[in-house]
């Protein structure tokens, strides 16, 4: 199906301008009419509910004969649907014969035992179903046990830099990139005028995930351990870590915490889409490595909101941004190992592969050489690239493509 971008005039929602997000909208469009239960996942406040509103509008315009049944469980008029029997009955009562019926349920976790209603509707093969909800109840690891039918996940991330440019209508790429690095991609923070207000918003999102989602779901008794672990991962973006060395570091600060507990906490944070784990790949041996991994934040603004902005550490945050962008563009991403050297990212897509180094500044010959050496040590013919804040046009050095990070991020490919 041809990609179809959002139509019409820009509109506003609770003071926020809404923009088209074709990457995600097109994913939903491609799934239209499939029998799977479509589960829209992603970190809190990344735009899942708004995306479903836009998808419903697309359906009504592009497929006017489709019967769209859209339920937002947060709306008071839908309070009676918090009983799964009533939710089930409501969907059946609004079914129309002779046309495609699309059922969209937002914040489905507000209906206890919602999976019973969804599974019953699924086996009837009457609806094209889409659900969103809190990550405490729709974690990736839970879907197989919640739903007896086949599920298809569409994972939503906070705004990319190209979306930030569209939202802010800012054509000054360098200035906009500096603002994006500081304030991140949570669109809800953009309505605030001061940096403190923006970070307060982001911090509130983060604390809601930790205290409302994870602590309650997993019945965590020692909340401070979880917070300390999360802060440690934030402070070590771009560093190789393991549950064992994290346990040793936290024991020095907070007393005894086992590596098993650390591994469990990391898993919880990954399930809630706060952190993403990146495994290592041995370039020479062409094999995946299980020991030591890196973790990247779903949005760098969380680090600044929680730990402060005294040490911005642009190199690590640039690396974090590149990882997220590669994931948005549909690549598999690994940390490269070549003997004792490290390549920031080994990027794979079907049969193609690329090697990427990320750096803050390569204006001095010494720094440029440091970034080039690991790439030049790789003997295969796959493309090699350095992404840095060059403020210049793309150029080639010894077969390595050197590109300005902001301009690479601004692309929508």
354 with 399, same domain: the answer is: yes
Report the pLDDT averaged over residues 38-56.
93
399 with 340, same domain: the answer is: yes
**In three state form, how does the secondary structure of the chain look?**
CCCCCCCCCCCEECCEECCCCHHHHHHHHHHCCCCCEEEEEECCCCCHHHHHHHHHHHHHHHCCCCEEEEEECCCHHHHHHHCHHHHHHHHHHCCCCCCCEEEEEECHHHCCCHHHHHHHHHHHCCCEEEEECCCCCCCHHHHHHHCCCCEEEEEECCCCHHHHHHHHCCCCHHHHHHHHHHHCCCHHHHHCCCHHHHHHHHHHHHHHHHHHHHHHHHCCCCHHHHHHHHHHHHHCCCCCECHHHHHHHHHHHHCCCCHHHHHHHHHHHHHCCCEEEEEEEECCCCEEEEEEEEEEECCCHHHHHHHCCCCCCHHHHHHHHHHHHHHHCCCEEEEEEECCEEEEEEEEECCEEEEEEEECCCCCHHHHHHHHHHHHCCCCCCCEEEEECCCCCCEEECCEEEEEHHHHHHCCC
Is 225 a domain residue? yes
172 with 145, same domain: the answer is: no
137-172: pLDDT as tens digits: 676 667 778 888 789 999 999 999 999 999 999 889
181 with 124, same domain: the answer is: no
- Mean pLDDT, the chain, whole residue set: 91
186 with 318, same domain: the answer is: yes
- Structural domain span for residue 69: 12-156
188 with 142, same domain: the answer is: no
Q: What is the pLDDT of residue 2?
A: 41
Q: What is the pLDDT of residue 16?
A: 66
Q: How many domains does the chain have?
A: 2
190 with 74, same domain: the answer is: no
Is 246 a domain residue? no
Q: Domain ends where: 156, 179, 210?
A: 156
Query: Among 73-77, 347-351, 356-360, where is mean pLDDT lowest?
Result: 347-351
404 with 348, same domain: the answer is: yes
Q: What is the pLDDT of residue 225?
A: 93
Is 372 a domain residue? yes
193-248: pLDDT as tens digits: 999 999 999 999 999 999 988 998 899 999 999 999 999 999 999 999 999 999 99
With 0.85 as the threshold, say if the pTM is over it. Answer: yes
CATH number for position 151: 3.40.50.300
**pLDDT band for position 1 (50/70/90)?**
very low
Is 90 a domain residue? yes
Q: Domain ends where: 104, 122, 156?
A: 156
Question: In the chain, what percentage of residues exceed pLDDT 70?
Answer: 93
Is 262 a domain residue? no
Report the pLDDT averaged over residues 49-55.
93
350-393: pLDDT as tens digits: 878 999 999 999 999 999 999 999 999 999 999 999 999 999 99
177 with 132, same domain: the answer is: no
Q: What is the pLDDT of residue 56?
A: 95
Q: What is the pLDDT of residue 278?
A: 97
Q: Domain ends where: 89, 122, 156?
A: 156
61 with 191, same domain: the answer is: no
């Amino acid at each position: 199906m041809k990609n179809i971008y959002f139509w019409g005039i820009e509109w506003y929602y609770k003071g926020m301008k809404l923009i088209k997000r074709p990457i995600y909208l097109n994913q939903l469009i491609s799934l239209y009419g499939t029998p799977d239960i479509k589960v829209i996942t992603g970190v809190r406040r990344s735009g899942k509910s708004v995306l479903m509103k836009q998808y419903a509008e697309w359906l009504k315009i592009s497929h006017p004969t489709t019967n769209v049944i859209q339920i937002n469980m947060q709306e008071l008029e839908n309070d009676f649907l918090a009983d799964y029997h009533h939710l089930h009955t409501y969907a059946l009562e609004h079914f129309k014969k002779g046309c495609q019926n699309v059922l969209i349920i937002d914040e489905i976790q507000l209906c206890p035992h919602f999976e019973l209603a969804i599974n019953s509707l699924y086996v009837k093969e009457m609806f094209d179903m889409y659900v969103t909800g809190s990550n405490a109840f729709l974690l990736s690891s839970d879907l197989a046990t919640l739903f007896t039918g086949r599920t298809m996940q569409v994972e939503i991330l906070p705004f990319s830099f190209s979306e930030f440019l569209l939202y802010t209508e800012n054509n000054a790429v360098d200035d906009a990139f500096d603002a994006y690095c500081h304030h991140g991609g949570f669109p809800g923070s953009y309505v605030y005028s001061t940096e403190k207000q923006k970070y307060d918003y982001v911090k509130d999102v983060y604390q809601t995930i930790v205290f409302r989602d994870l602590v309650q779901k997993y019945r965590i008794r020692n909340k401070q351990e979880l917070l300390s672990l999360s802060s440690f991962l934030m402070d070590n973006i771009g560093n190789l870590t393991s549950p064992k060395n994290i346990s040793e570091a936290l024991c020095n600060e907070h007393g005894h915490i086992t590596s098993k507990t650390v591994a469990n906490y990391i898993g919880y944070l990954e399930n809630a889409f706060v952190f993403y784990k990146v495994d290592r790949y041995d370039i020479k041996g062409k094999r995946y490595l299980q020991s030591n991994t890196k973790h990247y934040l779903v949005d760098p603004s969380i680090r600044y909101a929680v730990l402060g902005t005294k040490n911005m550490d642009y190199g690590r945050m640039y690396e974090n941004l590149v990882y997220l962008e590669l994931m948005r563009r549909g690549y598999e991403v690994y940390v490269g190992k070549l003997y004792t050297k490290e390549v920031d990212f080994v990027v794979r897509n079907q049969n193609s592969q690329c090697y990427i180094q990320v750096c803050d500044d390569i204006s001095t010959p010494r720094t440029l050489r440091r970034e080039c050496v690991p790439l030049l040590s790789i003997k295969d013919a796959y493309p090699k690239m350095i992404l840095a804040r060059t403020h210049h046009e793309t150029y080639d050095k010894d077969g390595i493509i050197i590109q300005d990070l902001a301009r690479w991020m601004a692309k929508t490919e």
